[in-house]
Structure 1
């Protein structure tokens, strides 16, 4: 059984502002901002909020960027202000460790997304088992889910369930899916998972489909939805929670959230925090269309300017090569190869 209360909620909303939103902020969210956002989420009745470096546990690195503060400082700041919400984090095996997960637990984290590529669930058994041993609400998080078939994804989800995951997520990391893609994958998971294993959906808005996809997931049997207030997240952002809650209320789906508080929070807290407008623009739309990992956006824009190559061209090539999370270093290699193929010299 999950440790998260479902009372009064037919849909459990999990906010990503303080983890996925770190990508949009180049990992530069302060502890003061963390506390402000977390308190507002808590006041609005959001059940779960994810807190960490954008890459999760072990994310601080040259490849992924360095945050202003440690995860421990972020967890402590958030833990001091929340009263009803549960704090979660992200663990990608090979980046984060079980020792770091134990540290997270000691700082008040009680839920975790154990995240793998959609064909690599077999990298997660030890980490899922560790989370369960700690008594955490434990999710198997299958990233870039459009790169696996519904049947293949179901097999991966069944593996995660066998390791101890209480929820299995379809993660549309690229914002590539259409509603029928989501329905086919949720249905395939529902057909093989135990009745008490929940299904979640994490969408990105790169083609403007995140709310439609999240609703499609619910209608097919998902009970957990990730999003972020104001859509603060990688690429064109996550499913904007305030809009999603409004749609849920129109549909009679109980979220336990206060819609007007979420609307005010987006306007008064989140939008002023944004360094750039998180929206569907030329680059983020290209990511969704080409099926590119959402966290590549700012990297591709920066490297495109560095070498004088349109970021759209780089993103399309990354999509053709089916690059996945963890291959951020290949963005610059790809740009250099494109320069060579175009007969251009690299400026020194």
Structure 2
């Protein structure tokens, strides 16, 4: 089974949801949490890529280079990526981003226009950057055309090619057809980026992995344009449950949402509907009505509610065995205090 690498786009695609107003301090808080969680690549910057802060795309009070520099000051293990859309960002912008600490770039074009990125990809490789060819709006082209454009990115020297569902319009069958064709006909890895407009982001990400993609995108709490992206938190849980080989730590990824992202969003007057404790119920196979009781027991015994839920799942607890919740919480507390 191939190793799967996760790119988190909270601090780039997710910036659409805060009108591109993530501050350098916000970036530090979120990026450091993602780095600690073992996320492989962290993407930072304006939602529309380097120097996207314009009247067309929405102004940001902070330039991309401030944000990249902020992330670079706290990221120790993950690759730090920027998005570059030819015609918005330039090679000179990319050089400046590298000076600020970026070591990866995703060069993004419309799915039929990879040729406009030739100079940018070649320049990025000359600079020593980990370079991704990012074909946006992939639902708008046939399988054959997606492959044709992907081969262009490959010929320019890209390290990976992405089939990107920018509109959240693809069905799992579309993802399978396009990803499997790329995997079978390219000599470089293939990635996939989903949006959740049809509620299919996780399903499409899994379809991509099953078809051979080894790079998958997400964002904390599913933050992103439209209905958001694949939720990194949920993606990690599902991939752990399916025994995929990933670097991300489940609890630390969840904590990046609850302890880093959500407080930042709340400080900006925004709310999320994310309930990560409920997600753990599905991960553990634990009866849904146990959640409230488990939270109370966790507070009473000063233990992690997730550990209670996972142990109840391991015990295959069912309705009527609520007394186990107290027993499990008590046992965990004793282990913790040994």
Smaller-chain TM-score bracket: 0.7 to 0.9
Give the whole-Å Cα distance in 1 for the aligned partners of 2:189 and 2:2: 14
Report if the CA contact (8 A) 1:235-1:278 is conserved. no
Task: Spell out, residue by residue over 1:40-63, the C-alpha distance to the aligned partner (whole angstroms, 9 max, x if none).
Answer: 001111111001111111201011
Distance 1:198 1:279, change over 3 A: farther
Give the whole-Å Cα distance in 2 for the aligned partners of 1:21 and 1:273: 12
Aligned to 1:38: 31
Deviation at 1:122, TM superposition (A): 1.0
Report if the CA contact (8 A) 1:92-1:116 is conserved. yes
Question: Aligned to 1:143, which of 136, 141, 151?
Answer: 136
Give the whole-Å Cα distance in 2 for the aligned partners of 1:201 and 1:278: 24
CA RMSD in angstroms, aligned pairs only: 1.6
Task: Spell out, residue by residue over 1:242-279, the C-alpha distance to the aligned partner (whole angstroms, 9 max, x if none).
Answer: 10011101111021111011112212332333354567
Give the whole-Å Cα distance in 2 for the aligned partners of 1:143 and 1:229: 21
Q: Residue 149 of structure 2 aligns to a residue in which SS?
A: helix
Report if the CA contact (8 A) 1:236-1:279 is conserved. no
Report if the CA contact (8 A) 2:190-2:214 is conserved. yes
Give the whole-Å Cα distance in 2 for the aligned partners of 1:138 and 1:276: 33
Aligned to 1:93: 86
Question: Aligned to 2:40, which of 47, 52, 55?
Answer: 47
Which aligned pairs between 1:8-47 and structure 2 lie closer than 5 A?
10-47=3-40
Give the whole-Å Cα distance in 2 for the aligned partners of 1:261 and 1:278: 19
Give the TM-score normalised by the residue count of structure 2.
0.78
Question: Aligned to 1:219, which of 187, 210, 228?
Answer: 210
Aligned to 2:176: 183
Aligned to 1:238: 229
Structure 1 regions of 5+ residues with no counterpart?
1-7, 281-348
Q: Residue 50 of structure 1 aligns to a residue in which SS?
A: strand
Aligned to 1:75: 68
Aligned to 1:265: 256
Task: Spell out, residue by residue over 1:183-228, the C-alpha distance to the aligned partner (whole angstroms, 9 max, x if none).
Answer: 000111122211xx01000011111101110011011010000111
Report if the CA contact (8 A) 2:2-2:214 is conserved. no
Give the whole-Å Cα distance in 2 for the aligned partners of 1:203 and 1:279: 19
Give the whole-Å Cα distance in 1 for the aligned partners of 2:147 and 2:108: 15
Match status 1:125 vs 2:123 = no
Q: Residue 61 of structure 1 aligns to a residue in which SS?
A: coil
Give the whole-Å Cα distance in 2 for the aligned partners of 1:116 and 1:60: 18
Structure 2 regions of 5+ residues with no counterpart?
275-338
Give the whole-Å Cα distance in 2 for the aligned partners of 1:270 and 1:205: 19
Report if the CA contact (8 A) 2:192-2:215 is conserved. yes
Give the whole-Å Cα distance in 2 for the aligned partners of 1:192 and 1:38: 35
Which aligned pairs between 1:153-168 and structure 2 lie closer than 5 A?
153-168=146-161
Deviation at 1:134, TM superposition (A): 0.4
Give the whole-Å Cα distance in 2 for the aligned partners of 1:141 and 1:57: 14
Aligned to 2:190: 199
Give the whole-Å Cα distance in 2 for the aligned partners of 1:10 and 1:279: 31
Task: Spell out, residue by residue over 1:299-341, the C-alpha distance to the aligned partner (whole angstroms, 9 max, x if none).
Answer: xxxxxxxxxxxxxxxxxxxxxxxxxxxxxxxxxxxxxxxxxxx
Give the whole-Å Cα distance in 2 for the aligned partners of 1:72 and 1:213: 33
Deviation at 1:68, TM superposition (A): 1.9
Match status 1:210 vs 2:201 = yes
Deviation at 1:80, TM superposition (A): 0.9
Report if the CA contact (8 A) 2:65-2:97 is conserved. yes
Report if the CA contact (8 A) 1:237-1:278 is conserved. no
Give the whole-Å Cα distance in 2 for the aligned partners of 1:160 and 1:75: 25
- Of residues 94-103 and 69-78 in structure 1, the stretch that sits farther from structure 2 once superposed is 69-78
Report if the CA contact (8 A) 1:9-1:256 is conserved. no
Match status 1:104 vs 2:82 = no
Deviation at 1:67, TM superposition (A): 1.2
Distance 1:38 1:153, change over 3 A: same
